[in-house]
């Protein structure tokens, strides 16, 4: 009788442990799966000149380390000088390369973007890879120095201006690449002529999503305009990543969701893989105007394939950043 009870509880415990083991195993498998593909080719980019915006943290910093290891000459561009200098030290240490440089750039200021471009033109006579990686996510309604809504201003207009100011240098090498970090979140955004800067209504995540939609439409139009120049432009979804971008998310939500994020979100090295591949993979030399996720080509929502909106956005962005006018001034 007693031995039967002991036996039964022994079996029950064993079964319990077994199912717990299976459960943990499945969670680990799921987590591993959610990390997505990675770029494993040992491609070298010796001497290639690279700019990465927002490289002081997260996937930007990770990308800088990776491309520095591959022999690139890396310029990290970020707003905060102290954080930029600290990142520089860390990237040098982790990559073992000394060929990494810091230039200050505030994408929320057109003045700063022009200054950055001028400084870069003094330093280099070509650019091989431009990674537009910096971004703000879900911040409260605020405006850039030039009065642009923060998400649209920083994530799209800042990079729009920067890219256009660097195009002359990008056209110097036979092949060069522009990599724009967008997001799957673009699917809930909308480019609206009447609510472009959230004039009528504003939701933080909606504003973020809209700026990411703008990144993809910008890439599409840019690729079209750069046909036969040797410069390619692609965009990507890095994945849901455990990064500093979550800083604007409520702390309680961050704590509650932490275990789920650990399982379902990519860690930072996994999150950097798609942009690393787009920046260096020789097989993508002629690929342009595309969108990638999990290290391979992916499809966007139809709103991100609307060429009419892409053209409108380009012209609106040109007008807002005063691009045409500045070009004329530089030429004279």
Ligand X SMILES: *[C@@H]1O[C@H](CO)[C@@H](O)[C@H](O)[C@H]1NC(C)=O
Nearest distance from C-beta of residue 284 to ligand X, angstroms: 7
Are the beta carbons of 81 and 93 closer than 8 angstroms? no
Name residues contacting ligand X, limited to 276-315 (CB under 6 A): 282-283, 285-286
Cβ proximity to ligand X: between 118 and 285 the closer is 285
Helix axes 204-225, 307-321, angle to 10 degrees: 100
Both tokens assigned to 176: 């060069």
Cβ proximity to ligand X: between 122 and 283 the closer is 283
Cβ proximity to ligand X: between 83 and 296 the closer is 296
Nearest distance from C-beta of residue 283 to ligand X, angstroms: 5
- Alpha carbon distance 255, 244 (integer Å): 14
Report the relative pairing of strands 291-293 and 231-237 from DSSP bridges: parallel
Cβ proximity to ligand X: between 32 and 227 the closer is 227
Taking CB atoms, the residue at the shortest distance from ligand X is: 286
Nearest distance from C-beta of residue 68 to ligand X, angstroms: 24
* Number of residues binding to ligand X, judged by CB under 6 A: 4
Nearest distance from C-beta of residue 178 to ligand X, angstroms: 17
Q: How far from the centroid of its chain's Cα atoms is residue 239's Cα?
A: 10
3-state secondary structure of 141: coil
Q: Which residues are CB-contacts of 183 (< 8 A; sequence separation ≥ 6)? A: 208, 209, 212, 215, 237, 238
Whether 208 is a known active-site residue: answer yes
Cβ proximity to ligand X: between 147 and 282 the closer is 282
> Residues 75, 206, 208, 291: which is the catalytic one?
208
Nearest distance from C-beta of residue 287 to ligand X, angstroms: 8
Half-sphere exposure of 2 (CA within 13 A, CB side): 0
Cα angle 222-79-243, degrees, rounded to a multiple of 5 = 80
- Neighbour tally for 113: CB within 10 Å: 26
Give contact residues for ligand X (rule: CB under 6 A).
282-283, 285-286
Active site residues per annotation = 208
């Amino acid at each position: 009788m007693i031995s039967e009870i002991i036996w039964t509880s022994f079996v029950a415990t064993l079964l319990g442990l077994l199912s717990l083991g299976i459960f943990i195993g499945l969670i680990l498998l799921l987590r591993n799966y959610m990390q997505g593909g990675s770029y494993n080719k040992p491609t070298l980019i010796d001497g290639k000149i690279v700019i990465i915006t927002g490289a002081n943290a997260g996937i930007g910093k990770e990308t800088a380390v990776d491309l520095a290891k591959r022999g690139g000459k890396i310029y990290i561009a970020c707003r905060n000088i102290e954080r930029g200098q600290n990142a520089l030290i860390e990237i040098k240490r982790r990559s073992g390369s000394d060929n990494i440089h810091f230039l200050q750039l505030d994408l929320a200021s057109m003045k700063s973007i022009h200054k950055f471009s001028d400084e870069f033109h003094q330093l280099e006579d070509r650019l091989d890879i431009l990674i537009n990686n910096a971004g703000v996510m879900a911040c409260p309604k605020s405006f850039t120095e030039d009065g642009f809504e923060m998400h649209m201003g920083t994530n799209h207009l800042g990079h729009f201006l920067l890219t256009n100011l660097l195009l002359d240098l990008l056209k110097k090498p036979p092949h060069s690449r522009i990599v724009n970090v967008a997001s799957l979140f673009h699917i809930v955004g909308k480019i609206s002529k009447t609510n472009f800067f959230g004039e009528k209504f504003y939701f933080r995540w909606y504003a973020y999503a809209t700026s990411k939609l703008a990144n993809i439409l910008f890439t599409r139009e840019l690729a079209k305009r750069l046909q036969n120049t040797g410069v390619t432009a692609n965009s990507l979804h890095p994945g849901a990543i455990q990064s500093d971008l979550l800083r604007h998310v409520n702390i309680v939500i961050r704590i509650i969701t932490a275990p789920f994020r650990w399982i379902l979100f990519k860690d930072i090295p996994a999150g950097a893989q798609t942009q690393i591949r787009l920046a260096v993979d020789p097989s993508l030399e002629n690929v342009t105007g595309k969108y990638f996720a999990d290290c391979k080509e992916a499809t966007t929502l139809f709103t991100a394939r609307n060429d009419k909106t892409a053209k409108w956005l380009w012209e609106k962005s040109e007008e807002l950043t005063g691009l045409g006018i500045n070009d004329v001034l530089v030429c004279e």
